[in-house]
Amino acid sequence: MTLEGTLPPELRIEAPDVVRARARRRLWGVGGILLVLLAGVGARGVQLCLLPHEQTITAASTQRWGSVKLAARRGAIYDRNGHRLAASVATPNIVVDPQLVPEEEVDALAAKVARILDMDVADVAERMRRQSRYARLATRVHPSVAARIEELGHLALDVEQGARRYYPEEMLAAQVLGFVDAAGRGRAGLEKQLDEQLRGGSLLLQRRRDLRGYSIDGQRTRDDMMGMDVHTTLDRQIQRMAERALEGVIERSDPVAASIIVLDHKTGDVLAMANAPTFNPNAVEEDPAPRRNHAVQDAIEPGSVLKPFNVAAAIEEGLVSIDSSIDCEGGSYRIGRARIHDDHPHNVVTVGEVIKYSSNIGSAKLAIRLGAEKFTDYMRAFGFTRRTGLPLPGERAGIIRSPERIKPIELATTSYGQGMTATPLQVAAATATLANGGVRMRPRLVSRIEDVHGVPEVIKEPMAEARVISEKTAKDVARAMVTVTEQGGTATRARVPGYLVAGKTGTAEKVVDGKYSASARIGSFMGFIPADDPAITVVVVVDQPRKGSRYGGSVAGPAFAELAGAAMRYLNIPPDPELLGEPIGPGPIEPLEDPGPLRVAWSGSEWTVPDFAGRSVRDVLRGVQGTGLGVELKGSGVVVAQAPPAGARLAPGEKVSVTFQ
């Protein structure tokens, strides 16, 4: 027996060939496995390169690239002469990457930054400890503050260039321009209606990142992403004149609101649109009232300013001429069971004098002769009851009764602007039609919209919509409107020395809570200058004056005169020497549109004194008849003062004093 035979199997010595053969088998086995694995990895690599899965692409992009959405810098708004009215200016924002601020440095760095930014240290530190890659510390800082932050030289701090909307003229044309919110969206005016063009697009900027996720690309400029520029028809200088004129209205009359519109009747261009109260779009307050654009958003009863259009329609239809006679019935005229009145009674006057004396009766007779259908057709042709289409939010259309349902008395009152509504802009556009020889131009506020390279994307040319009346009719009516501002007319305070002014006043009762107010009035004046060769058309509307007179000639006329005189000098239109130095005598006070019967309320023990303002002697006597109140009458004409004031309580037998002029 050999020693090898006595050893256990695990201790037996194998032949070298057997060992080598087994080693080769193992090597080939392991090599085969590695080869298969390598082939699989290679195949996967080929697949990732040639046919990658969408999720793989997304994961790789996320690791390799970062993205940030950049908004375009908002386009500017200009006046007709290229003066900038609204623009976006670069403003530095201070930001921090919290992941780049080691915990041991937070408190010290926060103290330095807080001191520069005038912030609370704890607030800054809290932002630096956030689990994010971006935190904003301050916005719209002064460039010198941004420079001090950069001087700190800390990798985590960065100065990000933002944009802020800036209105260099501050409150000038504020309601027309509008404003933007913190997100850069237009919230009112042109900023809202043309927001898409002004805002432009947005850019999703891809930036490469290193292994730690930090951006290795610099910040890209946004100059090639500018929104479009809007060029308006406004004239900055005339807009300033209009707003200064409104300041005088506010001081003299303390109205609830007021507005002025200036048009170029030859093109329809809006040269100025001013409103009061107003606001500063650089610092918008919570109160929405000053942001209201009364010129387009207030649909009011126009009052007597409607009479020239009614007269024009009657002349155009051949029913009368400007010199035809019309009987004003001595100031009182019955229509059915109702009666209308003139505060300045006349018998037979010319059609032109219906405008001069503002006769309700004369205007009503002309409308009745026209007929309801013709009357409403002409009012619509002048532009009433339809929006002008200006790019301004909230424009009202106004209303007028349909000819099928209008009653004779309603037709009569509508002829002098009661029972229908219109915006001041509609009145201005209709007045411009008279100034333009009977051709209605479409109102225009935006002339063109250009891209960042100055290439026009939108061009709006002046557009003639229709001929409403003949040139002769327009001139006849304009001649009659001149008499309104001459001695004996109702608007002598609207005269401009050296120029002929064609105009018309209006004083309408204001509708409050669905009914006519006993005291609130809307005074207005519309006109154009020079009357013989018009340059501009102006409408002034004063809503509910609470101080002094409430009549259109007194509250709106002076504003027209101030604005028109300044505009003539600005436009280099010389005065007529023959018209300089003419005496201007006092004219009659513009009559209130037929206010209906005067009512004195009985409380059970006392009478409430009504508002007698603008009433005739006859109206006052009729109103107090049967009340037991004594009346002391002073002067003649219409009431300009009373004591005690409206709203006072008087017992039967007590006296009220009324002064007429």
Task: Determine the Cα–Cα distance for residues 279 and 293; give it in Å rounded to an integer.
Answer: 11
Question: Quick check: 375 pLDDT over 70?
Answer: yes
| pLDDT value for 71 | 67
pLDDT value at residue 211 = 55
Residue 25's pLDDT is: 82
The stretch 487-510 carries a mean pLDDT of 93
Active site residue 517: no
Count the residues in the chain: 661
DSSP string covering 323-390, please? T-EEE-GGGEEEETTEEEE-SS--SEEEHHHHHHTT-HHHHHHHHHHH-HHHHHHHHHHTTTTS----
Q: Does residue 330 carry a pLDDT above 70? A: yes
- The pLDDT tens digits for 621-648 are 767 765 667 778 787 667 777 888 877 7
The pLDDT tens digits of the residues spanning 464-496 come to 999 999 999 999 999 999 999 998 888 999 999
pLDDT at 422: 98
On the question of pLDDT at 601 being above 70, the answer is: no
Q: Using 50, 70 and 90 to split pLDDT, how confident is the model at 224?
A: low
- List the single range of 156-165, 304-313, 393-402, 493-502 with lowest mean pLDDT: 156-165
Which of the residues 253, 259, 304, 616 is marked catalytic? 304
Per-residue model confidence (pLDDT) at position 633: 79
Mean pLDDT to the nearest integer, 2-16 = 63
**Per-residue confidence band for 184, with pLDDT thresholds at 50, 70 and 90:** confident
Q: What are phi and psi of 194, to 5 degrees?
A: -110, 30
pLDDT digits (tens, 9 = 90+) for 647-661: 777 776 678 888 876
CA distance 124 to 419: 63
Q: Using 50, 70 and 90 to split pLDDT, how confident is the model at 588?
A: low
Residue 379 exposed, middle or buried by CB count within 10 Å (0-12, 13-18, 19+): buried
Residues 408-419 have a mean pLDDT of 96
- The yes-or-no verdict on residue 361 having pLDDT over 80 is yes
The listed range with the strongest mean pLDDT (220-229, 269-278, 606-615) is 269-278
Name the residue with higher pLDDT: 514 or 76.
Answer: 76
Window from 92-106, 150-164, 333-347 with minimum mean pLDDT:
150-164
Distances, alpha carbon 8 to alpha carbons 19, 265, 366, 633, in Å:
18, 124, 139, 149
Out of 43-52, 105-114, 169-178, 399-408, which region has the weakest mean confidence (pLDDT)?
A: 43-52
pLDDT tens readout for residues 103-113:
999 999 999 99
> How far apart (Å, rounded) are the C-alpha atoms in residues 501 and 484?
9
- Per-residue pLDDT, averaged over 517-529, amounts to 94
Distances (CA, A) of 656 to 600, 601, 605, 610, 627: 12, 15, 17, 11, 12
What pLDDT score does 273 carry? 98
* Strands 338-341 and 77-78, bridge-based pairing: unpaired
Give me the pLDDT at residue 579, please: 86
Check: pTM over 0.75? Answer yes or no: yes
Asked if residue 218 has pLDDT above 60, the reply is no
CA geometry: angle 331, 328, 314, nearest 5 deg: 140
**Is a pLDDT exceeding 90 seen at residue 294?**
yes
Q: In what order do the strands lie in the sheet with 502-512?
A: 269-276, 255-264, 536-545, 515-529, 502-512
Instruction: Tell me the pLDDT of the chain averaged across its residues.
Output: 87
Asked if pLDDT for residue 535 goes beyond 70, the answer is yes
Q: Does residue 559 register a pLDDT over 60?
A: yes
Q: Which string of b and e fits 485-524 if b means at least 16 CB within 10 Å?
A: bbeebbbbbbbbebbbbbbbbbbbbbeeeeeeebbbbbbb
CB atoms under 10 Å from CB of 296, counted, come to 27
Residues of the chain above pLDDT 90, percent: 62
